[in-house]
Amino acid sequence: PQMTIFTVGIIPMVILIGTICSSFLRGMSKKAQAQNGVVSAVASETFNNIKTVKAFAIEDTETDHYSKQILKAQYLNTV
């Protein structure tokens, strides 16, 4: 009887905690994937327009922009 009461009390708590954690992780995963897409888009845009970037001598600006996006992605992928 004690084991049954213990089990009936614990199982719903485990299910609730699992549901909350999976919801949080799902949200973080979506944000991380979106940011990875941004990083890819920034790199692709820069490489596709490399002549323009060089013509205006904005290599450092583009590098900084890419670095900021990479740091955001890194944070979201490690949280």
Q: How far is CA 41 from CA 3, 13, 18, 44, 72, in A?
A: 56, 42, 34, 5, 14
Is 33 within 8 Å of 39 (Cβ atoms)?
A: no
Total number of domains constituting the chain: 1
Tell me what the mean pLDDT of segment 23-41 comes to. 97
pTM: 0.76
Q: Give 37 or 79, the one with higher predicted confidence.
A: 37
Q: Give 3 or 35, the one with higher predicted confidence.
A: 35
User: The domain containing residue 74 runs over which residues?
Assistant: 2-78
